[in-house]
């Protein structure tokens, strides 16, 4: 992103490096991962070795000490790979799950788990959503009860990305049943293989096919007190603390997808013969793609500004909510047009825009549905 007030030379170089990695290591292999229904864990190790999995964390834990704009660059370039499931797996690890450890973990917890996460040796997930309650923390039914020096966890989580093949899970549970609404929630670190913790089933999704999404079951899972993340009964605040980062990177991922889809469609319509010329000769097609390109550029600037506000320690809830709502809807509009302009070819499974159109649908739902984001904006008008 040259000549931008938001990106210095280092971030521009980072963007170039990630783009090359995506083009050489990800896009050529994505079809096989879609068929397998998972991203190989050695890919995480490669990314960890390049420093991509801990860019925001302190150097002592294998991080790069960068800021929110680095996460935006990372998410946008991952979005360009055309495989939303891959992007989701990685961004859940880097920007939706591990920040819980980084934000409230004790020095002992950070030393125990963070280096393996930044190196890509372990993959993490966050487990808040439940069957019947969605992401409504106030409706949480998973419970953890104190028993001696341990806690006993019971409940079910749903739609958990990295749920099947993950290693470390940050699990939210109600620990004070007398507390009203979203209060009385605590986050626990639960490791794969803990007795009583099982994957209920791997979920079959419309899109993000190479991302492993699961139902998780906790049946009298005994967790030591040293695995409590943050303060007891204060987990809701920890969850809320990372929402802005999560929504920013999801918006950036969406705009990476949208910009790549426009590029692919432009390449197609310029060379596709039609009506004695090419599709690009049709004014309606040229103008619609131009309009979508302008809208994507606007979405990107909204994201960049929200991320910049965050780097300055300023309140950015309104701007992040705007970015998430606008970009989550826009990527679906862009992909609708891109499929349309590919014609019948765009409806075929071997066409990237077909896959991307399925992957894009979740952007208006996951990480805060568009309607929820609009309410957040309305509160601040």
pLDDT in tens, 52-107: 999 999 999 888 999 999 999 999 999 999 999 999 999 999 999 999 999 999 99
CA count, 13 A, side-chain hemisphere, 171: 35
10-64 residue pLDDT tens: 999 999 999 999 999 999 999 999 999 999 999 999 999 999 999 999 999 888 9
pLDDT value of residue 2: 53
d(CA 263, CA 289): 10
d(CA 332, CA 334): 5
DSSP strands (E only) in the chain = 124-127, 143-147, 150-161, 168-174, 185-191, 197-202, 213-224, 228-229, 273-274, 277-278
303 within 8 A of 248, measured Cβ to Cβ = yes
d(CA 182, CA 281): 56
202 plus 78 within the same structural domain: no
199-221 residue pLDDT tens: 999 999 999 999 999 999 999 99
Asked if residue 4 belongs to a domain, the reply is: no
- Cα end-to-end distance, the chain, whole Å: 31
Domain boundary among the residues 107, 123, 139 is at 123
Domain boundary among the residues 78, 103, 123 is at 123
129 plus 227 within the same structural domain: yes
What is the pLDDT confidence band of residue 350, given thresholds at 50, 70 and 90?
confident
Domain boundary among the residues 101, 123, 145 is at 123
pLDDT surpasses 80 at 157? yes
Asked if residue 352 belongs to a domain, the reply is: yes
Residue whose pair of structure tokens reads 């190196």 in the numeric block:
119
251 plus 220 within the same structural domain: no
| Domain count for the chain | 3
C-alpha 228 chain-centroid distance: 24
354 plus 247 within the same structural domain: yes
272 plus 375 within the same structural domain: yes
C-alpha 356 chain-centroid distance: 15
pLDDT surpasses 60 at 1? no
Average pLDDT, integer, range 244-273: 97
Residue whose pair of structure tokens reads 């969605």 in the numeric block:
134
The CATH code of the domain that includes 73 is 1.10.540.10
176 plus 255 within the same structural domain: no
72 plus 100 within the same structural domain: yes
pTM of the model: 0.95
C-alpha 306 chain-centroid distance: 17
d(CA 378, CA 374): 6
Based on the residue annotation, tell me whether 191 is a catalytic residue of this protein: no
Q: Which of 246, 257, 354, 376 is catalytic?
A: 246
pLDDT surpasses 60 at 167? yes
Radius of gyration of the chain from Cα atoms? Answer: 21
204 plus 219 within the same structural domain: yes
- Residues spanned by the domain of 303: 237-379
The CATH code of the domain that includes 356 is 1.20.140.10
């Amino acid at each position: 992103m040259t000549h931008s007030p938001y990106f210095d030379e280092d971030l521009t170089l980072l963007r170039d490096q990630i783009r090359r990695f995506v083009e050489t290591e990800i896009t050529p292999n994505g079809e096989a991962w879609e068929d397998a229904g998972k991203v190989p864990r050695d890919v995480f190790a490669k990314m960890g070795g390049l420093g991509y999995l801990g860019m925001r964390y302190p150097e002592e834990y294998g991080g790069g000490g960068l800021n929110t704009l680095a996460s935006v660059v990372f998410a946008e370039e991952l979005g360009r790979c055309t495989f939303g499931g891959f992007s989701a797996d990685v961004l859940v690890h880097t920007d939706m799950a591990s920040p819980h450890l980084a934000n409230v973990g004790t020095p002992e917890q950070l030393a125990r788990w963070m280096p393996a996460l930044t190196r890509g040796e372990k993959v993490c997930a966050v487990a808040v959503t439940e069957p019947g309650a969605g992401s409504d923390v106030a409706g949480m039914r998973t419970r953890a009860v104190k028993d001696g020096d341990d806690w006993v966890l019971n409940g079910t989580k749903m739609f958990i990305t990295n749920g099947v093949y993950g290693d470390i899970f940050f699990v939210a549970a109600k620990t004070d049943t007398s507390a009203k609404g979203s209060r009385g929630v605590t986050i626990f670190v639960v490791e794969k293989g803990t007795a009583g913790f099982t994957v209920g089933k791997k979920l079959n999704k419309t899109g993000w096919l190479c991302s492993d999404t699961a139902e998780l079951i906790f049946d009298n899972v005994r967790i030591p007190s040293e695995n409590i993340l943050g303060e007891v009964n204060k987990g809701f605040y920890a969850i809320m603390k990372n929402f802005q980062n999560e929504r920013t990177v999801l918006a950036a991922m969406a705009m990476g997808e949208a910009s790549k889809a426009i590029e692919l469609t432009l390449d197609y319509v310029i060379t596709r013969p039609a009506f004695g010329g090419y599709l690009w000769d049709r004014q309606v097609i040229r103008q619609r793609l131009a309009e979508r390109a302008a809208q994507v550029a606007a979405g990107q600037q909204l994201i960049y500004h929200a991320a910049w506000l965050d780097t300055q320690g300023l309140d950015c809830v309104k701007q992040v909510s705007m970015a998430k709502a606008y970009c989550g809807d826009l990527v679906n509009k862009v992909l609708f047009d891109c499929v349309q302009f590919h014609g019948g070819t765009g409806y075929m499974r071997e066409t990237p825009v077909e896959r991307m159109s399925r992957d894009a649908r979740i952007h208006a739902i996951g990480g805060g549905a568009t309607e929820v984001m609009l309410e957040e904006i309305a509160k601040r008008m």
